[in-house]
Structure formats: structure tokens, C-alpha cells
Structure 1
Amino acid sequence: MTLIKAVNLAKAYGEQVLFTEANFLINQGERIGLVGRNGYGKTTLLRLLTGEEEPDQGTITFPKHYTVGHLEQQLSFTRPTLLAEACLGLSAAQQGESWRVEKILLGLGFVKADFQRPPAEFSGGFQVRLNLAKVLASEPNLLLLDEPSNYLDITSIRWLVRFLQAWKNELILITHDRNLMDQVITHTLGIHRQKLRKLAGGTEKFYAQLAQEEEIYEKTRINEEKKRKEIETFINRFRYKATLSTRVQSRVKMLEKQERLEKLTKAEELEFSFPEAPIPGKLIMEAKKLSFSYQPSGPLLIDDLSFTVRKNDRIGIIGKNGKGKSTLLRLLAGDLMPVSGELRHHPGLQTAYFGQTNVERLQPDHTILEELMAVSPTCTTELARKISGAFMFSGDLALKKISVLSGGEKSRVLMSKLLLTPSNLLLLDEPTNHLDMEACDSLVEALDAYNGALILVTHNEMYLQALVNKLIVFDRDRVFLFNGNYQRFLEEIGWETDQEREAAKAEELASTPSNHRKALRQERADIITRRSLVLRPLEARINQLETAISLLEAQLQQNNGELITASAAGDGDAIARLAKDNAAINEEVEQLYTELATVTDEYEQASAAFEAEMENLDAG
């Protein structure tokens, strides 16, 4: 059932057109990932849906009494405690059901001891989490989330993924984290070439389909342009021959009726390439019994940490927020000094550092171009413009003063300066937070190609899986080196929340009398049997639907390949037949995705019910 209709939308700011003649529908239960380059209008579209802004043209219609909730950016609180403030998100009917809010707060990384603390005591990142908790607790019909993971750590992101997977209403999600998005969404909505396009499925399918369609379009345009020139040649050659006047006029009318396909402009691509300094030797840095505290007699954030950095090391720093990850990176960069221990560098070490606080080092009176050219005397205006353009500061935007830039724009300037800084060690603190999805993909490719050492703080699990071969782990009140990749860490250690859950179950089981344990085992076995009887047919249907979708999408790919061939050959009949087939296949795929979403919801609801039954049994 269609709930939201956007018809003929247009929005521009001066000469910058974001989208025009844009249309889309949102159906019941759809979880939509909104994608597109930075500056294409993703956040603006959310503001149109909330009513904070009006479209220049077109309409957006909602059902009566339909509610829209979004993550507030304003950090303004009116209640004396964290829990009381978060409970403002509850509806009138849910007042008094604070347990709903407590579950969300715990999932987002707060602890029970935080519940009675004033909101003002928390850092800006945790205040954003509080706003996120409020909107999740409010359970709106349409939930709008714009980069919700920017202030979350890995454990909180994992919780948020599970929460959104179980979301029964409609959702539109903007995030640079492809892994997060693809785990949650049922459809992808993209802003591309000032139009909106929606497809069932995840981001990879969306971009593959877009690329294939543009290839077909361009080959068709070239073929039609060739035919047009042939017709124009015929007209010019035989215009004055009386015997061919009828045929000439026929071709003139044909040209007048023919709609000319415009050549597609090349989409901007963000390219990263980190300049490399000679690597001085095998060992480039060594930390011995490193300890640090911000207060002379205060608690140690880092205690007795030792590790080495070799020329090919890719080290990920992981752990919950506020435990010392960024502090460690600042120690390694030389911004802070340890209270004890030793940090030794190879004399040939050249470090390039991207930190969350480095924006303060930008010169506010510089333009973006001037800031880049100040990095190196060899940086020409042409090179500075090329680099600034790669970070979405093309044309006159490169002449903006640093002082007028947003926090995200300043972060992009900082990242762009690294492309002018030769190094053999990169220190990066959450480098993806202000990039779009395409830029994140380009960044991981550049880091993979970089021949120096890398030390990276990130909450992006795709980056950890793709890049690192060692980990420095902040876990509970300790920090240690894990000599293995991220997958091995998950298998051998895992996250604290998982450990605690299993430990609690083991402790409870150990304290239970043997006859009671026997009864519990029998009840657990009954639940597992019933669970299997209910879930197995649903799993089978999900597998059938996924197989059917894969086969149809393979047929679509084959048809698109044939369309390219037919376009090049100018075979109009084949083009018409294949286009008709594709329309029918796309309709069938959409129906299968709708059924898949329904069956998956049934599976998740049933699975959650059995999980709750098992938890109640364990709780006694």
C-alpha cells in the first residue's frame, strides 16, 4: 500500500539545482536507503519530508494522522535527568513505560548509572545519542535518520542495525556506512543527475543497474546520432532533386519528430592517492609501557601499553567511545605526551595525521585554495584546484573562506591536505565521518594501495575487515594489542556485550539446582523444536524467493547486454522487445521483493518471539 507520494518535485538554491521533476513513492513497511554524492540534496529531501523546507515545485502527500520523526541536531534539553529527557520521546499512551527507553539507552551505549545524570554532563557525541534515543522511542510512522552512526561506536552500531531490522514502520536512512545500510534497507532511493530513482534491493544492485542503464543510453545516443547524420547527409545531397523531393520531405519530418538524446556529462569522481615518503626501515615506531592521563593524579586512560609499528603494518584501534582511542592517536602524532613509558621513532619517519581536533589548525582567513597551497611550496594553483575539486570544492567553492565552512567541510579540507603531504605513516581518526558512500569506497581503495604503515581509528567494520592486520583494543578498563585481523578478533574475543550475555547465562545456570536445570533443559528443547517447526518453512520460502530474484536479475543483466548490442547495431525491433521484457521482469522482481519483505518480517517476528520466550525462561 502506497503511503507517501512525491510528485514533480523541484528544489534549487540559486543556480544550484538539486533535483527537478523528481517523483517517488514509499509503500508500507519499506526501509529505504537514500544515496547520492555530498551536495546532491539528500539532507534537503529529508527537510522537505519533515516540512522544515518547501519544494520550489511539486507536492508530497501523506495519509491523515501520519507522523514523521527525525534525529534532532539541536542539543537542547529541558529535563533534569538523562532518563527523564529520553522519556519525552514516548507517546501519551506509553507514559510510565520507561523500560522501553531504558532498553534503547543501553543499546546506544549508556549504562544504568547514567540514567539519573543531567544531560548537560555528557559530551556532544553522547548528547546526539540522547536525541537518537528520543526519536527511536517515539516510534513515528516515518523515521528519518541522517548519518546516525557518526557518534556511535561499533557495539552501538551493531545494536542499531538489529533495532532497524525489526522496525515495522517506514524508514529513510542516510549513511556513509554501506555495510550498515545494506543490512537494514529493503529499497535504495538515489539522487542522480537531478532526478530520483528507487529500486528494490541494496546499494550494490542500485549502482550496478544505474551504470548499466547509462551505458545502454550512451550507446543508443551514439547510434541515433550516427543515423541522424546519415539522414542530414541525404537531405543535403538530394534537397534540390525533384524526383526525390517526397523522400527528402519525409526525412525532414522524421528529423523534426526525433527527440535528440543529450550527451551525459561525466559524474564527478572522488579520487584519493596518498603521496608516499621513502620507508626508512622495517621498524618505524615503538611504544614501551605507554601510560597517559589527562590529570596528574587522575585515572589512566592508557596503562602500560607496548607495541611496535613495522613498515607494512595496518593497525586498527577499536573500542567503545570515550575510552581513549583518539587520545592514543594524538600521543602517536606527538600532540600529547605520555605520563610514563617511552615512544621511539625512526629518524626517517614522516607522519600524516588526520584528527578530530585538527580543524582548529586551519587558518580561518585562508580560502580553501590558499590552505592547500600553504602545505607545500610545489603546490600550484592548478594542482590545488584539482584536489579541492575532488573533495567537492570545485569552481568558486574553492574560494570560500575556512571561517564560513561547516564542520564537515573543514574535515574534507583536512583530508585534502593529506594528499599533499608525503608520509610513510598515516594516522587517521574516523576519516569517513564527513564523506559520502562513494568517497568512502574511494578512500578504502587508496588506503589499500598505500605502501606505508597505517594506524586507523574507525567504527566502520567494512574498513576493519578490508584493511587491518593488527588491532589495539580498548576493552573495559584495559588496552591491549591483538596480533590478528578483525575477523579473528570477532571469533576469538568478540565484543564485551556478547561476552557479558554469555557469562551471565553461564553464571545463572551454575547456581541453579540440578533438578531445576533438567526441567529448564526440557523447556528449552521444546522451544527449540517449536521454533524449528515455525521458522523452517519461512526460511525455505525466503531461500526460494531469493533464488527466483537472482535468476530474474541474471536475466535482466543478459537482456541489458543484448540491449547494448542491439543499440550498437541499430536494431529497433530488438530494442523494443528487450525493453518490454525488462519492464515485465522489473515488475515481477518488485513483487518478489515485496513478498520477500513480508516473509522476512514474519520470520523476524517469530524469531523474536521465540528469543523472548527463551530469555524469559532464562530469567526464571
Structure 2
Amino acid sequence: LDIGTQVWVEQYLVNYPGAILLISHDRGLLDTLCTRTIAFAHGRAEEYAGNFSYFQRESVLRREIQQRQFEAQQREIAEIQRFIDRFRASANKATLVQSRIKMLEKIERIPEPEREDAVMSFKFPPPPASGHMVAKLEGVRKSYGALTVFEGFDFEINKGEKFAIVGPNGAGKSTFCRLITAQEEPDAGIHQFGHKVATSFFSQNHADELDPDRSILETVEAAASRESAPHARNLLGCFLFRGDDVFKKVGVLSGGERSRVALVCMLLRPANFLILDEPTNHLDMQSQDVLQRALADYPGSVLIVSHNRDFLDPVVTKTLEFRPAEQPRLFSGNITYYLEKIAEESGAAKSAAAASSVRNPQATTVNRKDQRRAEAEAREKRNKLLKPLETELETLEKKIAEYEGAQAALTAALSSDEVAGDPDKLLQTTTAVANVTTALENSYTRWSELSEEIEKVKAKLGIVE
């Protein structure tokens, strides 16, 4: 879907009264629509009471809590085991040793949290220096039979500029890419490259040109420059080819896998002018992040044809819009800026409503009073629902800090000769450790419950943070 259609679908789904199950890599859509998130990882599914951004924050907190619980339990187990090992042969402590053995058997083990995948990064090979003007079209006409795509079209991209190319399918975006890279000649008009411009072009069609008898690694290393070749294996990992996958023959890959190989080949070639036609089509979120960060840091010039708003927004500084049977239009900003301008253009109804309120100032005053009353009611409702939960959470966090300090002190005391040599003190300290550990685990559980309740209330009140 093109960006305009995405916005329409998003608004339709926001107002849809039924239930929605959504599988997507579109973060903006997931944030806008979803009130619950199910994440699949490491062979299990976990549910989160919020949108994608909430899931990202909460999953980190859950891992941190589980890690702290795991480490605390491991310390407790180690101290109990040390006592057992130390006094196993002592006849007068046999009863205490047996009780510790039973204690160990009864402990419900907390699994160690799965480690997060390392955040991968990639930098483009240093681009060769170019002149200020990178490429331009002047008075271009392009037709296919009776269909005229461009008539009198002018465009120029300069050093360091990054353009988003947007518009519905069939509006001329791919034709424009072929013209600007000189893969096609215009029927009339001029195409010109600047001084020392080196282009690198990615499109979905390039996947079909790969040698099917070569392995993935051989293909990528053959495309890489001498400077970038050592980074080929790492970059393949960034784009989901890991371990022995790199030795697969290109001929056995799916269409999406071949597209990713073609993209990696393109990224490893030194160039100062990149043209990417739908680069995120077959990438998961992590791979999109890798590419997005690399493009944002890239000092050369870029044209990106994409419908992925979240991917484009931090990268591009200008937007070129294509519409069927219309001249392309330039917007001097990113996708957010472009959508704001489009919304302004279609805001005739709002303008009419504003004019009506000017003609009827009394109605405007009444509306403002209603608005202030509604805002006051919203604040009161927020305080009523959220304040008790936030106060309890703040108190609980202080308790957790106290329990963690007490647990560390008691665990250290178990190792001291004073406690270990005195059965009464040892029993008393061991019991205290168990009690504090239980209180700490209960506090962690309640902390997680409170955090989830607060997010639910915020979602219900429409509070976005």
C-alpha cells in the first residue's frame, strides 16, 4: 500500500468496532491500533497489555526483573550449597545439613533470562568525493505508447541530499529511478550526472540477476570492494544470514532471500549516490533498523522509494511525490512534514468550520467553556484512576531497594565464621534470607502488575508518553 492508502486504512481500522489481530512490521500502525501485543521469541509467546512501544519498554523491564530474581536465587542456592558442602561430614550438624538439602530440593528454580540479540551495526564504505550537483533531469518527457508518464519534468539532487520517493503504484516512481540512473533514456529532455558521481542502485529485479550456482558468501564477496570485503560476513548477519546459511547456493533461496542478498551486494559497493527501490520489503524490524541507521549516517546522496513511513522519517530531508497524470511535487521535509502538508491541503472542512465560528462568536465562547470543562474533568479522572497506582508503585520501588540491600547483607553474613559456626544464628539467618527473598519476589511480581495496570489506565484515557 502507498502511504496515502496506509493512512486511510489506519483511520478505518482505528474506528473499526470489532476485534483486530494484526501481524505487521509497521511500528507506527502497531502503536496506533494495538492495545495488546503478543511477542514470539525463544520458543514461547508472551503477552503485553499495550502497544508496540509499550512492549519494547516492558520487555526490557521484565528481563531486568527476571535477571535480578535469578541472580538473587543463585546466590541463595550457592550459600545453601556451601553450607552443605562445609558441614556434610560433621555429625553434630547432620540435621541442619539434611534440612538444607530438602530446602534446595523444594526451591522452584527461576530460569535464566534469554540473552537479547546483540544490536548489529553497519557503515557504508567511505564514498568517493563528488561535485555539488549529483544528478539532474531537465525538461524530461517519457512515454510508453499512448501513456505519458512525464512531460517537462525537472529534478535535481545535490551532494548529501536524501529524498523519499512516494506515491501510488503505477505513478512513475520506478521509471524515475531508471531515468535518474541513466538505465533508460528520456524521449526528450536532458539527463546529466555531476562530477565523479558513482551510483549504486537496488531494485527487486536485481535479485533475478544473481548467479544461482554461487553461495551467498561468494556472491557478496565478489560484489564487495577490497575495503568492504572483510565486513561481508557481518553484514550478512545483519540481514538474517547467519552461521552456515551463508554457504547456501543462491539457486535454493526464496525470492525474499535473494532480494536480501542483492541488497547486501549493493551496500558493499563504494558509491556516493544510492538509489533504493523498496529496500525494506523483505526485512524484519532489526534488519530495517540496521539499514536505517546506516543510511542516516551516510554522507552521500540518497533516493529511497518506499511506503515505510517509520523507516523513511529519520533518514530523508526531502520528499518527492508522484501521482498519476500529474507533475511530481517536491516537499522540503521528511514524511511527517509531507503528511502534514497533505492534511492541510485537504482541510477545507476545517476551514469552513473556522469561518462559521467567526460568524458566530457566541458559539465559540460556549465551545471554549465546554472544552475547559472537559479538560478539567479529564484531569480529575486521570488523578482518580492513576494517582493511587502511581503512589503505590513509588512506595514499592523504595521497598524493593530495601529488600535487595537486606538480602545482600544477609547472604554475606551466611558466609561468615560467626554465623556458620553457630547453629542458632545460622538457622536464624537462613530463615531471614528465605523470608526476604520471598518478600522480594512478591514485590517484583506486584511491581510488574502495577506497571501493567498503569499502562492499561493510560491506554484507556488516551495518554501517550
TM > 0.5 fold call: yes
Which residues of 2 match residues 288-307 of structure 1 at below 5 A? Answer: 288-289=137-138, 291-295=140-144, 297-307=145-155
Alignment of 1:169-208 (within 5 A): 169-208=18-57
Match runs of 1:85-104 below 5 Å = none
Q: Which residue of 1 aligns with 2:240?
A: 392
Letter in 1 for 2:28: N
Letter in 1 for 2:256: G
Q: CA deviation at 1:324?
A: 1.0
Match of 2:176 among 328, 335, 358: 328
Q: Are the counterparts in 1 of residues 225 and 268 from structure 2 also a CA contact under 8 Å?
A: no
**Aligned runs of 1:17-416 on 2, under 5 Å?**
152-269=1-118, 271-289=120-138, 291-295=140-144, 297-376=145-224, 378=226, 384-416=232-264
The SS at the match of 1:357 is helix
TM normalised by structure 2 equals: 0.78
The 3 A distance-change label for structure 1 pair 284 and 363 is: farther
**Further displaced range: 241-250 or 458-467:** 458-467
Residue 218 to residue 577, structure 1, CA distance change in 2 (3 Å): closer
What root-mean-square deviation, in Å, do the aligned CA atoms of Structure 1 and Structure 2 show? 4.1
SS in structure 2 opposite 1:471? Answer: strand
SS at match of 2:112: coil
Residues 262, 468 of structure 1: alpha-carbon distance in 2 compared, 3 angstrom cutoff: same
CA contact (8 A) 1:175 1:181 kept: yes
* Aligned CA distance change for structure 1 residues 494 and 442 (closer, same or farther; 3 Å): same
Give ranges in structure 2 of 5+ residues lacking alignment.
Answer: 409-435
Matches of 1:294 and 1:269, distance apart in 2 = 49
**Other-structure match for 1:592:** 457
- Structure-2 change in CA distance of 1:483 and 1:583 (3 Å): closer
Q: Deviations over 1:363-385 (max 9, x none)?
A: 23333223222213759998544
Structure with bigger gyration radius: 2
Task: Judging by fraction of residues, say which structure has more strand.
Answer: 1
Contact 1:274 1:418 in 2 (8 A): no
**C-alpha contact (below 8 Å) 1:319/1:473 kept by paired residues:** yes
Alignment deviations for residues 414-462 of structure 1 (CA, whole Å, 9 cap, x no partner): 2232342222222122222222233333332222122222211222233
Cα distance in structure 2, aligned partners of 1:586 and 1:388: 38
Count, aligned residues: 433
Shift of 1:275: 1.9
Please state whether the residue corresponding to 2:146 is helix, strand or coil.
coil
For the residues of structure 1 that align with 2:210 and 2:392, how far apart are their CA atoms? 53
1:292 CA drift (Å): 4.7
Q: Distance in 1 between matches of 2:213 and 2:140?
A: 38
The residue identity in structure 2 corresponding to 1:220 is Q
SS in 1 for 2:322: strand
Letter in 2 for 1:387: L
Amino acid of the structure 2 residue aligned with 1:579: Y
Secondary structure of 1:301's aligned partner: strand
The CA deviation at 1:552 is 4.6
Name the CA distance, whole Å, in 1 between partners of 2:394 and 2:267.
Answer: 38
Q: Secondary structure at the match of 1:293?
A: strand
Structure 2 residue identity aligned to 1:413 = V
Pairing of 1:553-572 with structure 2 (within 5 A): 563=400, 566=403, 569-570=407-408, 571-572=436-437
Distance 1:555 1:240, change over 3 A: same
Give the letter aligned to residue 218 of structure 2: E
Alignment of 1:426-575 (within 5 A): 426-475=274-323, 477-491=326-340, 493-494=341-342, 499=345, 502=348, 548=385, 552=389, 563=400, 566=403, 569-570=407-408, 571-572=436-437, 574-575=439-440
Note if contact 1:175-1:436 (Cα within 8 Å) is conserved in structure 2.
no
Match of 2:447 in 1: 582
Cα distance in structure 2, aligned partners of 1:282 and 1:329? 20
Alpha carbons of 1:457 and 1:243: their partners in 2 closer, same or farther (altered >3 Å)? Answer: same
CA distance in 2, matches of 1:489, 1:572: 55
Q: Structure 1 residues 594, 475: CA separation in 2 closer, same or farther (over 3 Å shift)? A: closer
Aligned residue for 2:270? 422
Q: Deviations over 1:532-586 (max 9, x none)?
A: 9999877766666667559857975995797588558555255134235325525
Contact 1:189 1:197 in 2 (8 A): yes
CA 1:384–1:351 in 2, change beyond 3 Å: closer, same or farther?
same
Distance 1:455 1:595, change over 3 A: closer
Identity of aligned residues (%): 31
Gap change, CA 1:189 and 1:481, over 3 Å in 2? same
What SS does structure 2 have at the residue aligned with 1:172? coil
What amino acid is the match of 1:221? F
Amino acid across the alignment from 2:302: L
The alpha-carbon deviation at position 330 of structure 1 amounts to 2.4
Is this contact kept in 1: 2:130–2:195, CA < 8 A? no
Is the Cα–Cα contact under 8 Å of residues 293 and 302 in structure 1 kept in the other structure? yes
